[in-house]
Amino acid sequence: MQFGRFDGLHREYVITNPRTPVKWINYIGTRAFGGFVDHTGGALICKDDPTFNRITKYIQQLPASDFKGETLYLRLKTDAGLRVTSPFFVPCLDPLDRFECHIGLGYTRIVSESLGLRTDALIFVPMGEQREVRDIRITNISDGVVEVDAIPVVEYSHPDALLQFTNADWLPQTMQSRAFSDGDFTVLLQYPFMTRETRVNFLTSNLPASSFDTDRKQFLGDNEYGAFRAPLALLQAELGNSQAQRGDNVAVLLHRLGKLPSGMTRRLIVQLGQASSIAEARPGIDRYRDPATVESALEAVAAFWDDYLASLQVSTPDQSADAMLNVHNPYQCYVTKTWSRYLSSYQPGLGARGIGYRDSMQDVIAVLPAVPQEGRDLVRMLLSFQKRDGSAMHQFNPLTMEGSCGDSLEMADRPHYYSDDHLWGVLAVAAYLKETGELGFLDESVPFYEKGATGEPLESGSVLEHLLRGLEFTRRDVGQHGLPLLGFADWNDTVNLSAGAESLFTAHLYGRALLEIAAVFEHLGDQEAEQEQRLAHDEMRLRVERAAWDGEWYVRYFDAEGRPVGSSKDDKGQIYLNAQSWAVLSGFASAARARMAMDAAYRRLNTEYGLKLSAPGFNGYDPKYGGITTYPPGAKENGGIFLHPNPWAAMAEAMLRNGERAYRYYAQINPVSMNDRIEVYECEPYVYAQNILGDEHPQFGLARNSWLTGTASWCYQTATQWILGIRPELAGLRFDPCIPPNWDGFSARRRFRGKLWQITVRNPAGVSSGVVETRVDGQQWPTNLVPPDLPGTAHTVEVRLGT
């Protein structure tokens, strides 16, 4: 069953049935001002930080039919009296003759038709602006005259989003609204009393409002036994002009659009913003009342995305892959870069998560081809949360820049650090260097996290020093097999063994990081330093190979007593995916073991919806393992299809030159192919979700936690760098595809170090990999690595695969 379709031409997904199984969302703006809009026009908007400066009240847990944050009513004068309806479907839920929600790049556009009216509402945040714009066109598509009013509504949250839910005494006494006349227009201001002079939210529009309300009790009426589905104030000729002195604040503007003859359109431009005062806000408000300003702001958003997506465009035999790689996947990567794991339908942004050190270090890698400078800025910021001992804070709040240990504080008797966090920085920095060649970044000075009494950093070090300290931390922090201690957890947050347990994941990540840093030293010509890192790699490789092979696959942990976890001898959790794929990514596994391990993963973990993270699932809470056993079998990390590690398995298969399987792992989780199975899958088919219930769960195939997941970054990296094989290296761009043998080739356009590379790959012999010929600008080239500094700004590269 479908709820919409892809529109490649406009780079949109178009939802055509508003009754999606869960709310499907899109993002607008940035963390500086923005949030998400759901497909029924509800919106969670904040400025700078969703925890401490939230603007709209959006409660994810309420039923889909409920009002959330923002909406729009239309009111028609009919012979039978006033008729109130919702062009966004929610909250009135009247049937619509037509519904389209266009999920665009940085905007959402909702088009609907009912009762003889077409409403076309474009919702976005102009670049660099602190306002959400809703550009709404209302057209009479009937043959007769329609008299209509348009009524946009916002419900405010207290800026302290958590307090909104935990304090029902002080908080409602402080929430106030005031109305201002601004020439012909009305501006509704809202603020908690204490920020009245310093920070105010505003709602206004480009048309005169005949009345307004800001007190929810007045607007809904009858002591709030009136409901958003049919607010009683809308049954009166005019709203009550309430200026809330306390309580639940809304902003409602009634615009009388008048009698629209057949074919006539009225345009209403609504702005929701924040400023230090009305005086500060006024000039911007004036500008955005002008449709020309709105139009050019929208063009600027489109230009940003044109440029962003131009960093890579591909044409392959798989249209679903093209849809993801050319539009939706890089878009999601930018969203995850912006929001980390902070704000979505599943991440309420109430302070617990903030920006994840580990998560963002992975997210950033995928945006480097498009926005290297933004990537560099983020990496620098993340590194400032690394501690002097080399380990890192798990997450931080981007407004207060306060770091935290995350959930590792949950269990008092477990260590309070994550063993992997700091190592991801090595991968991110290496990726930046490979993309840009800007080796000077290594010398940039970045503070460590610890601060003195007056808040100044106690120590700073170069970016390189940060990376080396991270590696040094892991080198020292080892247990009885010489493998890295687990800490509270590694990448898998939910296996929380007692202190003294060891992590194979962290061993592998450390191995991968050592390969990356060794390549950097090699490129710098520092043989001694390179050698040192390669020796460290060898040392850890031997320990892993000695201790962790179980016979058919690699174990995943050793517990504090030194017993393996993730072994055929275990009753539950016998095999873990990452222990197999990362044995390849780390360069530790011998060829024979690598193949066996990956085959075991295929046999034991693969399903039609993707690879499970582990199997079989635990069936009951067991404090020995911690978080993983809080889930029923088949859910999330406990035997669920956790998607983030799926591209790692595909990458490992590509490294092992199994193009068929690499592609299968990539393609089988492509959400585009879920478009026909939404009744099972439920989430947005235009972005990756974090998890799908596994085959031990009665709801096998059901996805959750879409948008903010490392799946986006790793699917993009795997597909572009390891399957299509267009791979930045320090010395240039490598062309090394590993594709399904039945592909006859593909083409791509890649921006790399300021030049445009037009790439054609041909596969006449029907192989998976193996470049037998490379031509650059028509000339034979001796290797499949092309240096970045060829004269000229555009080059063609022709690659032929064969044996």
Among 205, 344, 386, 690, binds ligand GLC (CB under 6 A): 690
Task: For ligand GLC, give the closer residue by CB, 247 or 354.
Answer: 354
Task: For ligand GLC, give the closer residue by CB, 494 or 506.
Answer: 494
Task: Return the range that interacts with ligand GLC (CB under 6 A); candidates 17-25, 193-201, 254-262, 353-361.
Answer: 353-361
Q: Among this protein's residues, is 79 annotated catalytic?
A: no
Query: From the CB of 493, what's the least distance to ligand GLC, in Å?
Result: 4
Query: From the CB of 717, what's the least distance to ligand GLC, in Å?
Result: 16
Among 164, 492, 580, 721, binds ligand GLC (CB under 6 A): 492
- Phi/psi for 553 (5° steps) reads -155, 175
491 forms part of the interface with ligand GLC (CB under 6 A):
yes
Task: Return the range that interacts with ligand GLC (CB under 6 A); candidates 140-148, 309-317, 355-363, 429-437.
Answer: 355-363
Torsion of CA 424, 430, 435, 438, to 10 degrees: 130
Task: Return the range that interacts with ligand GLC (CB under 6 A); candidates 132-140, 179-187, 489-497, 564-572.
Answer: 489-497
Which string of DSSP letters, residue by residue, matches 478-501?
A: B-TTSPBB-BTBSSSTT--PPTT-
- Phi/psi for 100 (5° steps) reads -140, 125
Task: For ligand GLC, give the closer residue by CB, 20 or 496.
Answer: 496
Task: For ligand GLC, give the closer residue by CB, 406 or 564.
Answer: 406
561-570: long-range pairs with CB below 8 Å, 24+ = 561/500, 562/480, 562/481, 565/495, 565/497, 565/501, 565/625, 566/504, 566/614
Among 318, 550, 559, 637, binds ligand GLC (CB under 6 A): 637
Question: Which residue's entry shows tokens 């981007």?
Answer: 398
Build a one-symbol-per-residue string for 751-770: x at contacts with ligand GLC by CB under 6 A, - elsewhere: --------------------
Contact indicator for 509, 420 with CB cutoff of 8 Å = yes
720 forms part of the interface with ligand GLC (CB under 6 A):
no
Task: For ligand GLC, give the closer residue by CB, 36 or 714.
Answer: 714
Annotated catalytic residue within 49, 135, 493, 550: 493
Task: For ligand GLC, give the closer residue by CB, 130 or 638.
Answer: 638
Q: What is the number of the residue whose Cβ is closest to ligand GLC? A: 493
Say how many residues touch ligand GLC, by CB under 6 A.
11
Task: For ligand GLC, give the closer residue by CB, 588 or 631.
Answer: 631
User: Structure tokens of 402?
Assistant: 């306060």
Query: From the CB of 336, what's the least distance to ligand GLC, in Å?
Result: 10
Query: From the CB of 394, what's the least distance to ligand GLC, in Å?
Result: 9
Query: From the CB of 310, what's the least distance to ligand GLC, in Å?
Result: 30
Nearest residue to 56 via CA among 86, 36, 30: 36
Contact indicator for 64, 22 with CB cutoff of 8 Å = yes
Task: For ligand GLC, give the closer residue by CB, 253 or 712.
Answer: 712
* Distance separating alpha carbons of residues 87 and 70, to the nearest angstrom: 13
Contact indicator for 476, 420 with CB cutoff of 8 Å = no
359 forms part of the interface with ligand GLC (CB under 6 A):
yes
> Which residues pair with residue 83 across a beta bridge?
76
**Which of the residues 404 through 433 are near ligand GLC (CB under 6 A)?**
none
205 forms part of the interface with ligand GLC (CB under 6 A):
no
In this structure, is the dihedral angle defined by the CA atoms of residues 395, 399, 402 and 407, taken in order, positive or negative? negative
Query: From the CB of 418, what's the least distance to ligand GLC, in Å?
Result: 9
CA angle, residues 65, 91, 126, in degrees to nearest 5: 105
* Distance separating alpha carbons of residues 204 and 188, to the nearest angstrom: 6
**Which of the residues 695 through 714 are near ligand GLC (CB under 6 A)?**
709
* Distance separating alpha carbons of residues 35 and 50, to the nearest angstrom: 8
Query: From the CB of 90, what's the least distance to ligand GLC, in Å?
Result: 29
Count of beta carbons in the 10 Å neighbourhood of residue 279: 8
Q: How buried is 198 (Cβ within 10 angstroms: 0-12 exposed, 13-18 middle, 19+ buried)?
A: exposed
Query: From the CB of 139, what's the least distance to ligand GLC, in Å?
Result: 44
Query: From the CB of 626, what's the least distance to ligand GLC, in Å?
Result: 12
Nearest residue to 149 via CA among 88, 100, 78, 65: 78
Contact indicator for 87, 173 with CB cutoff of 8 Å = no
Length, in residues, of the chain:
803
Q: Which residues contact 547 (CB under 8 A, 6 or more apart)?
A: 481, 482, 483, 558
Task: For ligand GLC, give the closer residue by CB, 13 or 339.
Answer: 339
Q: 3-state DSSP: the chain helix, strand, coil percent, rounded to 5?
A: 30, 30, 40
Task: For ligand GLC, give the closer residue by CB, 88 or 339.
Answer: 339
Amino acid at 78: T
**Which of the residues 252 through 281 are near ligand GLC (CB under 6 A)?**
none
Among 356, 573, 728, 740, binds ligand GLC (CB under 6 A): 356
Query: From the CB of 375, what's the least distance to ligand GLC, in Å?
Result: 19
552-556: long-range pairs with CB below 8 Å, 24+ = 552/596, 552/597, 552/600, 553/579, 553/580, 553/596, 553/597, 553/600, 553/601, 554/504, 554/579, 554/580, 554/583, 554/589, 554/593, 554/597, 555/504, 555/579, 556/495, 556/504, 556/505, 556/614
Task: Return the range that interacts with ligand GLC (CB under 6 A); candidates 195-203, 254-262, 451-459, 485-493.
Answer: 485-493
Task: Return the range that interacts with ligand GLC (CB under 6 A); candidates 2-10, 153-161, 487-495, 602-610.
Answer: 487-495
* Distance separating alpha carbons of residues 362 and 343, to the nearest angstrom: 17
Contact indicator for 757, 733 with CB cutoff of 8 Å = yes
348 forms part of the interface with ligand GLC (CB under 6 A):
no
Among 102, 358, 387, 612, binds ligand GLC (CB under 6 A): 358
Task: For ligand GLC, give the closer residue by CB, 329 or 436.
Answer: 329
494 forms part of the interface with ligand GLC (CB under 6 A):
yes
Task: Return the range that interacts with ligand GLC (CB under 6 A); candidates 180-188, 226-234, 486-494, 746-754.
Answer: 486-494
* Distance separating alpha carbons of residues 593 and 11, to the nearest angstrom: 43
341 forms part of the interface with ligand GLC (CB under 6 A):
yes
Q: What amino acid positions are annotated as catalytic residues?
A: 493
Q: Which residues bind ligand GLC (CB under 6 A)?
A: 341, 356, 358-359, 491-494, 637, 690, 709
